[in-house]
A and B are shown apart, each in its own frame.
Chain A
Amino acid sequence: MADKKTLTFALMDAPYENARSTTALRLINIAAKRGYDINVFAYEGAVFLPFAGQQAHPNPVHGHDAEQEDHPLPREWVEAVIKEAAKNGGKVDWVNCGLCVDERGAGDAVEGVRRGTPGDFWNMAESSDNTLVIPTK
């Protein structure tokens, strides 16, 4: 692909807390559909986005079982963008900040996520066409 690009995203928000997580994954999904190479450096609470332990749950207030509730799981969205990029000739290099993971006990991540350091973010930014940092408020 002649116009293939590499984009880097730095994420900081934990899942289920702010629309920034959704917007970030929307952006990554658009890049994945184009077959771009995508780097993600997940920092602070964002290391929980690909946490494998996320579980769908029922909603007794609404009288829904887990299936009816159809609870969104960010780990599935992370898996989906990794697959989407690969399908279109790109790749997602998702790095979880190791210190952030250890502090939070978030080591059990979905396949395709690796552990790293802020040095990885530096290298990602250096080797990318562009970088977008999505900070917490």
Chain B
Amino acid sequence: MAQYLLIESRDPFDSNDVQNFYGLASGLAKEGNEVTLFLVQNGVLAARQNARFAALGAVASAGVEILADDFSLDERGIVTGGLASGVKAAPLDIVIDQLAQGRKAIWH
């Protein structure tokens, strides 16, 4: 089992290829790998509870840990209580933690 860190910086309402990245995260998790999807910058817009966007829920259901950068959330006025199910706010330090652990990391 490999460990992956996938960092999504793009807004899925702006870039359709975000869903391909979500698909990569889900696929890796379904194959038994440990996967974290870290949302940052406009990537956190998908994490809103009231967003009309179901794709992130499917990623969570596949067993992917989904984290959203707390700074990016604050910048956009998204409160922790307003996050979609399966998404947790987290500091950017997590990225450095996982890089230091040697996770395979991809930025999108």
Interface, chain A (partner B; CB < 8 A) = 3, 5, 7, 19-20, 23, 26-27, 30-31, 34, 36, 129-135, 137
CB distance from A23 to the nearest CB of B (A): 6
- In the complex formed, the residue of A with least CB distance to B100 is A5
Taking a contact as CB atoms closer than 8 A, the residue among A19, A20, A30, A135 that contacts B96 in the complex is A30
How many B residues face the partner with a CB closer than 8 A? 18
Complex alpha-carbon distance, A23 and B96, angstroms: 12
B93 in contact with A30 (CB, 8 Å) = yes
Complex alpha-carbon distance, A137 and B16, angstroms: 13
B96 in contact with A129 (CB, 8 Å) = no
Q: Which residues of chain B are near A31, meaning CB under 8 Å?
A: 96
8 contacts across the A-B interface (CB closer than 8 A): A5-B99, A19-B42, A23-B9, A27-B92, A30-B95, A31-B96, A130-B102, A134-B107
A23 in contact with B102 (CB, 8 Å) = no
Q: Do A26 and B71 contact each other (CB < 8 Å), given the known contacts A19-B9, A20-B41, A133-B107?
A: yes
CB distance from A92 to the nearest CB of B (A): 14
- In the complex formed, the residue of B with least CB distance to A26 is B92
5 A-B pairs closest in CB distance: A130-B99, A19-B41, A5-B100, A30-B96, A134-B107
CB distance from A127 to the nearest CB of B (A): 14
Is chain B's interface secondary structure helix, strand, loop, or mixed overall?
Answer: mixed
A36 in contact with B92 (CB, 8 Å) = no
Tell me if B58 is interfacial: C-beta within 8 Å of chain A. Answer: no
- In the complex formed, the residue of A with least CB distance to B14 is A137
A129 in contact with B102 (CB, 8 Å) = yes
**Using a CB-CB cutoff of 8 Å, which residues 20-76 of chain B contact chain A?**
40-42, 71
- In the complex formed, the residue of B with least CB distance to A22 is B41
Q: Which residues of chain B are near A129, meaning CB under 8 Å?
A: 99-100, 102
B99 in contact with A7 (CB, 8 Å) = yes
Q: Do A132 and B100 contact each other (CB < 8 Å), given the known contacts A19-B9, A30-B92?
A: no
Complex alpha-carbon distance, A32 and B33, angstroms: 30
Complex alpha-carbon distance, A34 and B99, angstroms: 13
B92 in contact with A23 (CB, 8 Å) = yes
B99 in contact with A132 (CB, 8 Å) = yes
